[in-house]
Every structure is written in structure tokens, then in C-alpha cells.
Structure 1
Amino acid sequence: MLNTLRDITQAVAAANTLDVALELLVVQTKQAMATQCCSVYLLEQQQLVLSATEGLQRSAIGNVKMPLSQGLVGLAAEREEAVNLADARVHPRFKLFPEVEEEEYRAFLAVPIIYQKMVVGVIVVQQPEPRQFSEGEEAFLMTLAAQLAVVIRSLKNRAAISNVQDKVVFSGTTASSGIAIAKGFVLGGAISLEQADLACEDIAHETHRIKLAINRSRDRLNALSQRFENDQAEDVASIFSAFKLLLDDNSLGGEYVREVAGGWRAESAVSRVSIRYIEQFLAMDDPYLKERASDIRELGQKVLRQLIEPDRLELEPDTPVILVAKEVDATMLAEFPRHKLAGIVTKLGGVNAHAAILARALGVPALIGVEQVLDTNIDNKLLVLNATRGQLLVSPSPTVVDEYRVLINADVEKQKRFSAELTLPAETLDGRRIHLYLNAGLLSGMESPIADGADGIGLYRTEIPFMLHQRFPSEAEQIKVYQQVLSAAGTRPVVMRTLDVGGDKPLPYLPIKEDNPFLGWRGIRLSLDHPELFLVQLRAMLQAGGSGQQLQILLPMVSNLDEIDQTLEYLEQAYEELNVELASVLTRPKIGVMLEVPALLYQLADVAKRVDFVSVGSNDLTQYLLAVDRNNPSVSSLFDSYHPGILRALKRALDECQQYKLDVSVCGELAGEPYGALLLVAMGYTKLSMNQASLARINYLLRRVSCNQLNLLLERCLAVSNATQVKQLLQTFTEQHHLEDILH
């Protein structure tokens, strides 16, 4: 049965259209289950529509519709569970639709197709003779429905998009709020191997194009191979070496050129050769040789990318665009010219992935989880990105564009109002001083009037410069960067976090492949396993800090006291070495740890004996306490820092830090959210570190509330049972105190 399930799933997933997919589904399911009828109903505007059938009257497809409250099919969708009946006619919910001609069928099994808690449709099998479908048959159909849910949802959405010629509206999740109007710039969309067969008139020109694409692909593979060889990852490097061999003249590379010589365009030649060889390899019996078909496909797509969109990042100067991609990493964002980046839209990603955090730091509107965004042609089309409301509009009317321009202008005026108070301290109405710091990773984020309003740098992410290199930066290179950071902050304190890679922040030259990267080799764990690299970073930080009092060092992902002790030993080693080498006395910086791993919550008394301060990383703390991978779209909706359990953990952390006289701050995303800042101040936190885009708004907000008001709010928030209720209380509070304009 497993092979049958796989065959049906693969056939449906490979279909180009929804109609073809559903036709394949009903035919193959009917055959696999040896029934006389199989049908699929899709949910459209709260009605189940017969969308494909093998056994009922085909003229009824698209015409038979029923609400969820009617019929046995509706019962399966309404209850979200299987309905298995020996004789459907005796059930009170049975409803006969004469146009489908199902009078002869009695045995009935319906299973809902559910995607992320939402019913997409129902699959039904029927037989003339009365009998109960077996447990095995029911389990088979339920498994098939679960496997196909995402495929059917995707094809259904694609069909809906293709039926709309303009003014398409996509929905997604807000990663960074704001509005942008610009042309779309699609980067890294899937390159289809199936290119049209187009003849060429100028064979010499096409030969030049294909050879240039092959050479560019070879250069790219060389760079990748050398990178992994340098990291002694020989098994990975060998993959790229194998691809390079396929590009040789006596292999696929020569076949591409010869196909062009036969009169085909370069794109057509690559497609024809690749498909020909893929079919040959798939027809072989040897499993290993069958797998090589995927290598041929991947190589063909690499060469096609060089033909279709070479040097895609080279934009016209001063042309802001909305970047549309399958996924965006932090390196891509850091390298993309900021003045050309109006917004970001991705198919994948999480709201607390590092790229999303960086987008917020840059103040760039970003929308993620837009499932069908790459399945339609939006490259170079005018887009309106309303990330605040989670919408992307394609080819909107001039009237709609004008309306959004008014909104953008209003937001600009609001930001001016916020910024006008940045020179004033963040002090509540009853006089409590709150120190607001900046989270930063790029120098450009520190050199602005907004940054001037911060009390210092509460979190400098040293991994960003590491991500921008093609190798580990040297000690001298790191010293230069850290000195620039300290200089940009003037005399204000700067908290530098040691290298925090792993999880969703891999280095391009240090690939880490793990089943559970957030629970794996990351943060201080990686640094302690590479003391030769860690010592270089500590030495660079100490030299940049010199004899001043400005520098503080923060350790990420600390999960036990031994990690702190080992780090302090390495820091002492670096300190002693430098004092001898430089013949001068450097300042010992304050040392802190990130409170991200829940276990550390119960060891703060011991932590206080070793370090000077604690910085709460609310993102990872939330992730670990709720057991939710924040980048997994299937569960990312469960990630919520307003969960009462998270709020209680944050309150406990503050209380214990105060008890043990341990300085404490919050540098996670929660500190930069208006609701989050209100709750943290209510708990008693007086040091909040946030992205540049949040600084002026939070300062403006805190100057309009009192701690007495917030204390009553906190009591109520800690007493409720879920995050939705917490947010409702916060919304009511802001409305009662006329603060809602600050939030939106």
C-alpha cells in the first residue's frame, strides 16, 4: 500500500493543473481501492462542489453544489472526520442529487481533505453492494487525503490566481510592517527544465551563449567546491566536483553544444538534452542510476539560470523594487543595496527568522508565507505591499495606488512626530526612566538620527560581518569592524554578542546540516568547539575596546554553567596574551549571557556569581518554552511571546535577577513591539533593546503611560489563559488611553 500511496501522490503532485490532478486522483484511487466510484468535492465559498469523479455522471462536475450542513459529504467536512456507512441511504443526512446518477451506490466512505486545520475538500468512494469499508481501506483513504492536502491546496490556489487577469491580491504573514509601492523583482524563482522547443537562426550566437552559461556554471561550482574543500567537508565538495565533470565536453556540456549546433536555441537545447537523459535514467532498474536523473535535472536548471537570469542582482541605479523570492537569507538582504529595496515578499520563512529580524532592523516592509507568489508572472509589475495588513496587490488601479500613497504619506508624518521626541528621555508619566538601546548588525543602522536617540547598542550581532565574508574574517578585519561600531556609538555602551550562527543563521562557508538546527550546534556551543576561532574574536573585541569602559561582551545560547566558565578562561587567556603583546593594560569588559535556554531560568543564582548581566532573548526563549520551531509554517502560528506562560517566565527572570543583583535587559523582538514594551515595563524592566525602526515609536509610547496603569494591566494579563486574551486586554487598554494611533 505504501508504494500505491506514493505513486498516487507523485502523479497528482506532478500535474500542471488542478483539473488534471483531480482526474488522476479519482481514477487511480478508484483502481487502488477496487471500488466502482471515486469523487472529489472541493470547498468553495462554504459550498462543496463536485470537482472530479470516476463513476458518477461527469456532466455534474462543477454543477452539483451543497452547503456543509447538507448531505453525507457535508457531514464529513462539517465534523472533520471520516464517514463510513454500509448503506448510505438509511442515514438521515443522505441527500440524493438526481443529476449525478448515484442511485445504485450504497456503501459510502468520505474523508475530509484538511490543510492546516482548514477543510479543503472531501474525497469519497462508493460501491453498489451494501458493506462497511474495512479499517484498512478507511486508513488508506485518510492517509492519502493527508498526503495530498498541501498539493490540492496549492493547485487550487494556483487555479484561482490564473483566473484573475489583474488586481490579484495575495495574502501572507507580516514579518515587518509598513507599506511600499514599487515594481516587483522576482529572484530565485523555480527555473522550469521544460522549455519550449525553439529553433534558432544564428547558431554561432547561440553557441556563444551556451558556452558562456556553461563556463559561468563551472566557475560557480568551482567556488562552491573549493569552499567546502577548505572546510574539509570533502563529501559535500565531491558533489560539486561531480557536477563539474558533467559539464565537460565529453559529457552533458558537449551534448548541450551539439544540440545547439543542430539548430536549437540554447534554452531549448539544455531542456531537450536534460529531459532525454532523465527519461533514460528513470527507465533503468538500478536504484542508484535512477537517482542520477535528479543530478541531470539540477545541473540543467543551474545552466538555464545562467541563460535566463545571469547576474540578477545587478539592478538599474536608484530603482527601488519589491524583492520577491522563495526565501531570503540574511546575507542576501545585507548585500542588497538598501536604497533599492522597497519591500520583501517570500514564499517561505518565519516571522522570527533571522532574515525577518534583519528586515525589521532595516525598516523594510516584509511579507512571508505567500504561498502562490512565484506561480504567476509578477516580475516587473507594479506592486503595492501592505505588510501591515498582510497583503500584496498586483497591478492595482491608479485609484488604489493613490489611496496607498496617502497612507504612506500619513505614516511618514507619524514617524516625524515620533522622531521629534527622540531627544527627550523615555520616561513614564510617573517618572520611571526606561533606557532604550539599539539592536544592530550593520554599521549603516547606527549612523542615523534614529540611532542617535538610543541610549547605546544593546545588541551588536557580530555574525552579520561573518556572513558577508567568504571565509572567517581575520583578527585585524574584526578589530576594524568592532572599532567602527564603538566609534559610531560615541561614548554610549555597546554590547557585542559573540558569534551566534547555526539554527536559521548558517555561514556560507561553514555549512551545518542538522535535523533540529535550533537544538543543535549553534551559538556558544560552536564557539567553544572552535577555540582557535573563538580566541581570535575575543582578542579582536578586547583590542577594539582598549582601555575604555564602553565595551560589554554577551554570550549566546548558554545552556549550562560550564560554558560560562570555559568562556571566562578563554577570555582571561586572551586578556593576558594581549597585555604582554601590547605592553599595555586593557580594560576587562563586563560579561553577560543571553537568557534563551529555559534551564538557565533555574540557575540565575549561580549565573550571578560568574557574570555581570543577563540579556533576555525573547525569541528563542519563547521557541524553547513553547516547543515551537518559529520557522516551520505548520506550527509557526503557535509561536507567540504573549502566551501567559512566557509572560510569567519573563516576570520570574526579572524578579530573580533583581534578587541576585544581576543587571538585566531584554533584547528580543518583544522589546520593540508596542504591546511587548508595555508589558515589560509593567514587569519592571528598565532596559529594552530593539531594532532601529521601533525606537522612536516605543519612546513616544512610553512617555504617555504610567507604571501604576501598567501594573493593573499586567495583573490581568498574567491571570488569563491564552495569548489572544492577553492581546485583547492590551487592545482595550490602548483604546481607553487613546494610544491606538501609536500602534498602527
Structure 2
Amino acid sequence: MLKTLRDITQAVAAATSLESALSLLVSQTRLAMSTQCCSIYLVEYQALSSEAAATLTQTFINQTSSISHQSTPSEPVLVLSATEGLAPSSVGRVSMPITQGLVGLVAEREEAINLADARLHPRFKLFPEVEEEEYRAFLAVPIIYQQQVLGVIVVQQADLRQFDEGEEAFLMTLAAQLAVVLRGLKNKAAVTNVQQKVVFKGTMAASGIAIAHAYVLGGAIPLEQPQLRCQDPVVESLRLNSAIVRCRDSISSLSQKFEREQANEVSSIFSALLSLLDNESLAGEYLKEVSQGWQAETAVSRVSLNYIQQFMAMADPYLKERANDIRELGQRILRLLIEPGRLALEPDKPVILVAKEIDATLLAEFPRQKLAGIVTELGGVNAHAAILARALGVPAMIGVEQVLATDIDSQLLVLNATRGQLLVAPSPAIINEYRNLISIDKAKQKQFQDELANPCETLDGHKTQLFLNAGLLSGLADDVVQGADGIGLYRTEILFMLHQRFPSEQEQIKVYRQVLDAAGTRPVVMRTLDVGGDKPLPYFPINEDNPFLGWRGIRLSLDHPELLLMQLRAMIQAGGVGTQLQILLPMVSNLDEIDQAVGYLEQAYQELKSECDAKIVKPSIGIMLEVPALLYQLDDVATRVDFVSVGSNDLTQYLLAVDRNNPNVSALFDSYHPGILRALKRALDDCRRLGLDISICGELAGEPLGALLLIAMGYDKLSMNHASLGKINYLLRRVQRDELRVLLDTVLRLPNGQQVRAKLIEFLTQQELAWLLE
């Protein structure tokens, strides 16, 4: 049964179009279940009349899809999209609202229906054009992806009998496995249809709007390539040979890596792929096709598809599985032919970078003047790359499902990251509308910037210090730092990410001095190396099942005291005799870690005192409050450190047990969850009671709604990205803290973050400040 499920899913996934995929699905499912009829209905949306819009059920009003085809109000309908057993002429012509028929009932209830005689059910509706009069037995299962019904798969028989439990379980399992595949195929079909306006949806990682062409990195390379002849077989052979050699070198490096790690089973996989690259195997077949006049891409495609078909037809399970090896190798070679060193090909004008996932190193290396926006399938709003995008002021959107499965490379895009929308090939009217929005936004930013020099003080006299979060020297220009009261978080790990090895002590001293000089006499909080989790170093890989619960932050530094001591020495020397520098320890989870780190700071300080003629000062030291356990040990923490900085991103992640980089649960990551707000309030109250200085450097501080809550709680040191400084300053100088305290008492009693936001927006609306959220 598992083999049958896998074969059907793989066949559908390998299809080149939605139509062929659905045709394969119904034919193979009918055979697998030995039934007379199998059909699939897909949910589509059609425009509503004003009367219909008024009566549309709230359930479907609240549903959102990752792709839509019109902006007018619409209702879901089920369209017969493929069948084997019903009249072929009815495909695409028969449709029904989900409020009608048995198939509609399955979609409406989001559950399977299994009937011995469908005609006896009150929701049975006969469509004469489908010619289903002979069928009685009826089993239908919804295809659901992330709470959204994509369609319904139906099997029918003439016999009066109920499908058994095994058959029902098989169809439900198949539907669950196919959901992701069908979503991607529907998206691809929509993008290739230029008559439709296509809107992908995702989650904002960095606000803003961008209009530019797509620049796809790591997109899906299909094996099905155009059948093109070449003009010069010798030139094509050289291209192909170069790709084969580079592929062989890459696989060989991977194989050797796993051999060194004694991961023999993994190493054998790469050894098998290497053997396929011999001239006596696939590589020779590729070159043979080129010698017969085919283009290199076409040659790889023809050979791969031919052998895949042969191996898939074999009865032996082991030999059938080798088809996957041929597919993987073919796609590797095609990528080297189609995208040879894509990153090295700098675009000639600003682009919207589209990728599976983007790390901080890639963003730091990509030419800033050529980066208009970022779109990824994976990642989280508080992943390091997203934080860096906000620091760079680049609009970014994450969790855009299946975008790489579509052909959007080089297409004109409008990225409205603020609303979580990506428009593909928009009309000239829409482009003009968005250009107007960009002009309006620039005018707002100028207004904020013009007032940034004013002290941040509420209408009733409460003063707040606004600090800067930074990680790149390019983000510390004089005009940037001048608008802040200091640097509240300098992420030293970005320096480590930009090197191909650990930076030396002298290299670190040079950078840290530049950071301190940029701040003038204002305070600078430098965080020690914080890698692991979503922040790997390319030359120091960490492979863990649960990286956010693993070897990261201070844990890694304490396990490598040679690295920690070098960094502490560099910081102390850069700080010199001033008191400007403060050192921050990340990911602290227990008191022993604080004691060890403080001991290493003392060791570094004493070593330098004996080595250096110049006078030096030991910096103050603090911890990031990220691990919830320390919320209950602040009395002990206060005897060991000078200050606390709340990292609201990780604190939220750990309190809610949500991987902030996982789009499947990204909706659960909510910094406005009342439980999170109460934890932040408790941290502040305890620190004030203990006389322990406290600030907050998480993303919440740079959000207008978040800043209101933090000021209401009593926080008076907020650290944020430069793009947020002007807006937060503008906002806080137009509200009263006493009113905010009353508001806080109300929101802390609310049951969820959605209601908290609604209450805060209501407050801003009353103050005529809601436009700051647009």
C-alpha cells in the first residue's frame, strides 16, 4: 500500500502540467482501488453578485489562499477537473457551489463521506451531463493544505456497497500527500496564464514595497527541457564536459566529507552518483546525444527521462528506486548548465531576489544597490536573514509557498511586503498605483527623519531612549547613528559570517573600534558571538535536529574558550580607557554560564593589563533575557551582571514553543500573545525592584504597537533597526504614557494576540495615528 501511494504521488509530482497531473491521478487511483470511476474537483473562485456576497458564509470569508486570480469578491466553486469514468466532455464544464451536492458537502464539512447509495442522501444532486446515473457507491475525501480546501477526490461504483475502512484510509492518505503537490501545480498553471493577475501571499519579514524583475536563485530545474538542436556540437560538448567535471568535483567533496565523518551509508549514496558520471554510464550517454546534434540541456533531459521511464517500469523495487538517482543527477547537471555561478552574474539593475531560503552571508554579499526586495519560500520573520533585511531597509517576504515551482524568473513583480503580497506580471495601472504608494511612503520617511533630532518624550513628559540594532559597518554611517541614543545591539556574528575563517584578534579589534568610533561618545552594547540556530557559519557547520534548542550562543562560546577569550580581548582593547563599551552574553540559560563567562572576561582583562602599556577599562557585562527559566532567577542574575537586555524574538519562540523559522507554524509566533506581554512586564518589574538596568532589543521594540505596550509597561530603553527609529520617535511624542497604562491593563486581560492588536489599533485610530501602520 505504501509503495502504491508513493508511486502515485511521485507520478503526479513529476507531471509537467496541472492537466496531466490530474489525469494521472484519477487513472492511477482508479486502478489502485479497483473501482469503476475516479474524479477530482478543484476549488476555484468566481465573482459574486452583491446579493451572493452578502450571504456568503463566514467560514469561507475567513479562508485565505496563497494565490488568487482576481481582486473582486468571490465565492468558492467546485469544478470537475479530471475524471476516468464520467463523461470526458463534462471536464471543466460542470461546477457547483460548495453549498450544493455531495461533493460540495465534503468541501463544506472538510471531512470524508462514504455512502453505499449516494442517491438516498438529501444533498445528492444529479448532473445529467456527467453521465453518472449507473453509480451508487460513493466515497469522497477533501484535499486540504494548511486548513484550506483545494479540492475533492471521489471514487464511485455501480454496486450498492460501502467502501471499507482500508479503502477509505487509502484515499485519505493519498489526498493528504497530494495537497502540497497540487498547490504547486495550481500556482504554476496560474503564473503561466498571462490573462490572470496572480497574487502570491506570504508573511512580511521587512516592510516596504518594491517594483522590479524577479531574480530566481535555486529555482526548481525541470528535467523536461525544450528539444533544441545545437549549431556547434564541439562547443556544446565543451559546455557539457565542464558541467560534468564541476558536478563530479562537488559530489566527490560531499562523499569525502561523509567518509571523514564515518557516515558510510550517506557516503555510499554519493559514490553511486559518482559512478553514474563515468563515461561508460550516463555521462557518456549525455555526450553521445550532443554528438548527434542536440543542445547540452536537451541531451541531459532526453537521456534522463528515457532511463527514468525504463527504471520505473521495472518490477524490482531496488532498480525502480534508481530512477530517483538518475533524476537527481540530471537536475544537478542541468543547474550547472542553466545557472553557472548565478551569484557571480551581478544583475544590471535592481531585482527582487527569489529563493528557497536566504542566509545572512548571501544578503551581505549581494550588491545592495541591486537588491530591491527579497522573497523566500522558507524562513521566519525573526530569522537572522529577515532581521538583516530590515537592517538594510530591503522589503522582504517569507513563507511564499511553491513560488519556485512557477516560472517567474525575469518577470516583472510588485512586492508589497507590508501586506504580504507578491504580484506577478501586474498591469500598467497597478504598477502606477504602487509607484504612487512608494512616493507617499518616501514622503512619510522624510517627515520622520526631519523630526528625529527631537528628544523622544511623551506628551506627559516620560523620556525614552531609542537605540540602534546593527551588524554591518555600512549601517553605521554618521547620519544613521546621529538619530539614536547609542547602539543597543551590535551583532558581532555578522563579522564572522563574512569571513571564510574565524577572524583574528587584530581583525576584530579593527572592526570593533570602527563601531565605537561611529557611535561617538554614546554607549555601545556588543553581543558576543551568537551563532547556531538560524545563524550558521559556512566554515563551522553545526548539524542538529533541533538547532534552536541546541549548540548556540554562549553555549558554543563556552565550549570554545579560545574563541571567546580572543573576542573578549579584542573588545576590551577596542574599548580602551572609556566606559562606552558594554558586553552582552546571548542565549544564557543558567547561572553557571554567567559565572564562567564573567570568569573569562576577568581572565582576558588581567592578561591585557599585564601585556599592554596603555590603560584599559573592564567593560560592564550583561545577559540577553531569552530563555524563560531566567525569568525566575533574576534575583540571582542581579548579583552577577550589570544589565539585562530582553531578546523578545527568542523569548517569544521559547515561551510559545514555536520554531520562528518554520512557515507551517509561523502564525503561532505572536509577540502580542498576552502570555508574552505578561512575561515582559514581569521582567521589567523584577529588574526595577532589584535595581538592575533593563532594555529590550527584540523586533517588538521597533513596531509601533509593540513600542506603545513597552512604554506602558515602563521600559525606557528600546533598541531597533534604523528604519524604525524615526517612526517610533514620531509616535511616542504624540501619546500620553498615563493613557497607555490604562490601555495596558485592558490588553493584558484579553485572551489572544489578535484581540490585543485590535485594541491597540482602536487606540491609534482614536489618536488619529493609525496611518503609521499603513
TM-score scaled to structure 1, two decimals? 0.93
Tell whether the 8 Å contact from 2:184 to 2:405 is kept in structure 1 after alignment: no
Tell whether the 8 Å contact from 1:176 to 1:387 is kept in structure 2 after alignment: yes
Q: Which residue in the other structure is 2:20 paired with?
A: 20
Tell whether the 8 Å contact from 1:166 to 1:396 is kept in structure 2 after alignment: no
Gap change, CA 1:425 and 1:220, over 3 Å in 2: farther
* Matched letter for residue 566 of structure 1: Q
Distance of 1:131 and 1:213 partners within structure 2: 58
Matched ranges for 1:261-276 at <5 A: 261-275=291-305
Q: Which residue in the other structure is 1:49 paired with?
A: 79
The superposition leaves residues 388-411 of structure 1 with CA deviations (integer Å, 9 ceiling, x where unpaired) of 222223333333333222221211
- Structure 2: stretches of 5+ with no match in the other structure: 46-75
Gap change, CA 1:129 and 1:199, over 3 Å in 2: closer
The range that moved more, 614-623 or 306-315, is 306-315
- 2:424 pairs with 1:394: yes
Matched ranges for 1:412-561 at <5 A: 412-561=442-591
**Aligned-pair RMSD on alpha carbons?**
2.8
Distance of 2:377 and 2:516 partners within structure 1: 37
Distance of 1:550 and 1:239 partners within structure 2: 54
- 2:144 pairs with 1:134: no
* Matched letter for residue 674 of structure 1: P
Q: Which residue in the other structure is 1:8 paired with?
A: 8
1:22: how far off?
1.9
Distance of 2:310 and 2:120 partners within structure 1: 54
Q: How many aligned residue pairs are there?
A: 744
Distance of 1:21 and 1:8 partners within structure 2: 10
- 2:60 pairs with 1:30: no
Gap change, CA 1:230 and 1:508, over 3 Å in 2: farther
Q: Which residue in the other structure is 1:355 paired with?
A: 385
Tell whether the 8 Å contact from 1:419 to 1:450 is kept in structure 2 after alignment: no
Tell whether the 8 Å contact from 2:187 to 2:403 is kept in structure 1 after alignment: no
Matched ranges for 1:122-521 at <5 A: 122-165=152-195, 167-214=197-244, 216-217=246-247, 256-257=286-287, 259-275=289-305, 294=324, 296-314=326-344, 319-521=349-551
* Matched letter for residue 13 of structure 2: A
Distance of 1:589 and 1:231 partners within structure 2: 41
Secondary structure of the residue that 2:468 maps to in structure 1? strand
The range that moved more, 579-588 or 629-638, is 579-588
Secondary structure of the residue that 2:452 maps to in structure 1? coil
Tell whether the 8 Å contact from 2:191 to 2:407 is kept in structure 1 after alignment: no
Gap change, CA 1:93 and 1:627, over 3 Å in 2: same
1:297: how far off?
4.2
Gap change, CA 1:251 and 1:485, over 3 Å in 2: farther
The superposition leaves residues 108-165 of structure 1 with CA deviations (integer Å, 9 ceiling, x where unpaired) of 2222111111111112222333333333322222222111111122222222222234
Secondary structure of the residue that 2:566 maps to in structure 1? helix
1:330: how far off?
1.1
Secondary structure of the residue that 1:469 maps to in structure 2? coil
1:76: how far off?
1.6
Tell whether the 8 Å contact from 1:39 to 1:53 is kept in structure 2 after alignment: yes
The superposition leaves residues 691-721 of structure 1 with CA deviations (integer Å, 9 ceiling, x where unpaired) of 1111111111111111011111111111111
Candidates 732, 735, 742, aligned match of 2:762 = 732
The range that moved more, 43-52 or 454-463, is 43-52
The range that moved more, 199-208 or 447-456, is 199-208
* Matched letter for residue 2 of structure 1: L
Secondary structure of the residue that 2:422 maps to in structure 1? strand
Secondary structure of the residue that 2:645 maps to in structure 1? strand
1:595: how far off?
1.2
The superposition leaves residues 493-538 of structure 1 with CA deviations (integer Å, 9 ceiling, x where unpaired) of 1111111111111111122222222112211122222222222222
Secondary structure of the residue that 1:630 maps to in structure 2? coil
Q: Which residue in the other structure is 2:713 paired with?
A: 683
- Structure 1: stretches of 5+ with no match in the other structure: none
Q: Which residue in the other structure is 1:641 paired with?
A: 671
Tell whether the 8 Å contact from 2:183 to 2:402 is kept in structure 1 after alignment: no
Distance of 2:548 and 2:535 partners within structure 1: 10
Distance of 1:141 and 1:78 partners within structure 2: 18
Matched ranges for 1:100-115 at <5 A: 100-115=130-145
Distance of 1:473 and 1:287 partners within structure 2: 50
Candidates 643, 648, 658, aligned match of 2:688 = 658
1:641: how far off?
0.6
Distance of 1:235 and 1:509 partners within structure 2: 24
Tell whether the 8 Å contact from 1:172 to 1:369 is kept in structure 2 after alignment: yes
Gap change, CA 1:391 and 1:725, over 3 Å in 2: same
Tell whether the 8 Å contact from 2:12 to 2:25 is kept in structure 1 after alignment: yes
Secondary structure of the residue that 2:429 maps to in structure 1? helix
Distance of 2:13 and 2:183 partners within structure 1: 11
Tell whether the 8 Å contact from 1:450 to 1:696 is kept in structure 2 after alignment: no
The range that moved more, 267-276 or 115-124, is 267-276
Distance of 1:574 and 1:233 partners within structure 2: 39
Distance of 2:266 and 2:612 partners within structure 1: 42
Secondary structure of the residue that 1:588 maps to in structure 2? coil
Gap change, CA 1:11 and 1:280, over 3 Å in 2: closer
* Matched letter for residue 750 of structure 2: V
* Matched letter for residue 181 of structure 1: I
1:315: how far off?
5.2
TM-score scaled to structure 2, two decimals? 0.90
Matched ranges for 1:562-711 at <5 A: 562-711=592-741
Secondary structure of the residue that 2:451 maps to in structure 1? coil
Secondary structure of the residue that 1:374 maps to in structure 2? helix
Tell whether the 8 Å contact from 2:190 to 2:196 is kept in structure 1 after alignment: no
The range that moved more, 477-486 or 640-649, is 477-486
Gap change, CA 1:363 and 1:228, over 3 Å in 2: farther
1:344: how far off?
1.3
Q: Which residue in the other structure is 1:72 paired with?
A: 102
Secondary structure of the residue that 1:727 maps to in structure 2? helix
1:74: how far off?
1.6
Tell whether the 8 Å contact from 2:457 to 2:732 is kept in structure 1 after alignment: yes
Tell whether the 8 Å contact from 2:481 to 2:518 is kept in structure 1 after alignment: no
Distance of 1:115 and 1:316 partners within structure 2: 37
* Matched letter for residue 737 of structure 2: C
* Matched letter for residue 460 of structure 2: D
Distance of 1:246 and 1:162 partners within structure 2: 34
1:743: how far off?
2.3
* Matched letter for residue 612 of structure 2: L
The superposition leaves residues 263-304 of structure 1 with CA deviations (integer Å, 9 ceiling, x where unpaired) of 332323344455566667767888777766555544443443
* Matched letter for residue 145 of structure 2: Y
1:347: how far off?
2.6
Gap change, CA 1:164 and 1:627, over 3 Å in 2: same
Gap change, CA 1:377 and 1:126, over 3 Å in 2: closer
Gap change, CA 1:77 and 1:211, over 3 Å in 2: closer
1:672: how far off?
0.5
